[in-house]
Structure 1
Amino acid sequence: MSDLHFEVRDGIAQIILNRPNAMNAFSEEMLDLWIDALQTVRDSNDIRVVIVKGNGKGFCAGGDMKEMGAGRGFYRSDEDRVTTGLARKNSLWKKVQRIPLLLEEIDQPVIAQINGAAFGAGLDMALMCDIRIAAEGAKLSESYTKVGLVPGDGAAYFLPRIVGIDKALDMLWTAKVLTANEAKEMGLVTFVIADDELEGFTENYAKKLANGPQTAIRFIKRAVYQNQTMSLRSSLDMISSFMAITTELEDHREGVKAVTEKRKPKFQ
Structure 2
Amino acid sequence: MSESPVLSPPVLTQRDGTVLTVTLNLPDRRNPISDPAMVDALCDVFEAADRDASIHVAILTGAGSAFSSGGDLNAMRPDAGGLRASLPAQTRRNYRAGIQRLPLLFQAIELPVIAAVNGPAIGAGLDLACMCDLRIAGQSARFAESFVKLGLVSGDGGAWLLPRIIGFSKASQLSLTGETIDAGEALRIGLVGDVVPDAELMTVARAQADAIAANPPHATRMTKRLLRAAQTAELSQILEMAGAMQALAHATADHDEAITAFFDRRPPHFKGD
- TM tier, smaller: over 0.9
Amino acid corresponding to residue 83 of structure 2 in structure 1: F
State yes or no: 1:43 paired with 2:55: no
Match of 2:29 in 1: 22
Q: Which moved more, 1:221-230 or 1:128-137?
A: 221-230
- 8 Å Cα contact 1:42/1:105 also seen in 2: no
- 8 Å Cα contact 1:24/1:58 also seen in 2: yes
Distance between the aligned counterparts of 1:73 and 1:8, measured in 2?
Answer: 32
Change (3 A) 1:86 1:131: same
Stretches (4+) displaced over 3 A: none
Distance between the aligned counterparts of 1:74 and 1:198, measured in 2?
Answer: 33
Distance between the aligned counterparts of 2:109 and 2:96, measured in 1?
Answer: 19
SS state of the match for residue 2, structure 1? coil
Match of 2:3 in 1: none
- 8 Å Cα contact 2:69/2:121 also seen in 1: yes
Distance between the aligned counterparts of 1:147 and 1:178, measured in 2?
Answer: 18
Tell me the TM-score normalized by structure 2: 0.91
38, 42, 66: which is aligned to 1:34? 42
Match of 1:219 in 2: 222
The runs of 5 or more residues in structure 2 that have no matched partner are 1-7
Distance between the aligned counterparts of 2:167 and 2:262, measured in 1?
Answer: 39
Query: For the aligned residues, what is the CA RMSD?
Result: 1.6
237, 241, 255: which is aligned to 2:240? 237
176, 186, 190: which is aligned to 1:187? 190
97, 120, 123: which is aligned to 1:120? 123
Distance between the aligned counterparts of 2:69 and 2:113, measured in 1?
Answer: 20
Q: Which moved more, 1:250-259 or 1:112-121?
A: 250-259
SS state of the match for residue 200, structure 1? helix
Deviations 1:25-78 (A, max 9, x none): 233321221121122123222222111110011100001101222522237xxx
Structural mapping, 1:54-69, within 5 Å: 54-69=62-77
Match of 1:83 in 2: 86
How big is the shift at 1:89? 1.1
Structural mapping, 1:70-219, within 5 Å: 71-74=80-83, 83-219=86-222
Distance between the aligned counterparts of 2:20 and 2:89, measured in 1?
Answer: 35
How big is the shift at 1:118? 0.3
Deviations 1:88-144 (A, max 9, x none): 111111110001111122111011110110000000000000000111221011111
Amino acid corresponding to residue 252 of structure 2 in structure 1: L
State yes or no: 1:13 paired with 2:16: no
Amino acid corresponding to residue 228 of structure 1 in structure 2: Q
How big is the shift at 1:187? 1.0
Distance between the aligned counterparts of 1:242 and 1:30, measured in 2?
Answer: 34
Distance between the aligned counterparts of 2:270 and 2:197, measured in 1?
Answer: 29
How big is the shift at 1:211? 2.5
- 8 Å Cα contact 1:41/1:106 also seen in 2: no
Equivalent residues, number? 262
Tell me the TM-score normalized by structure 1: 0.92
Distance between the aligned counterparts of 2:206 and 2:119, measured in 1?
Answer: 18
- 8 Å Cα contact 2:75/2:83 also seen in 1: no
The runs of 5 or more residues in structure 1 that have no matched partner are 76-81
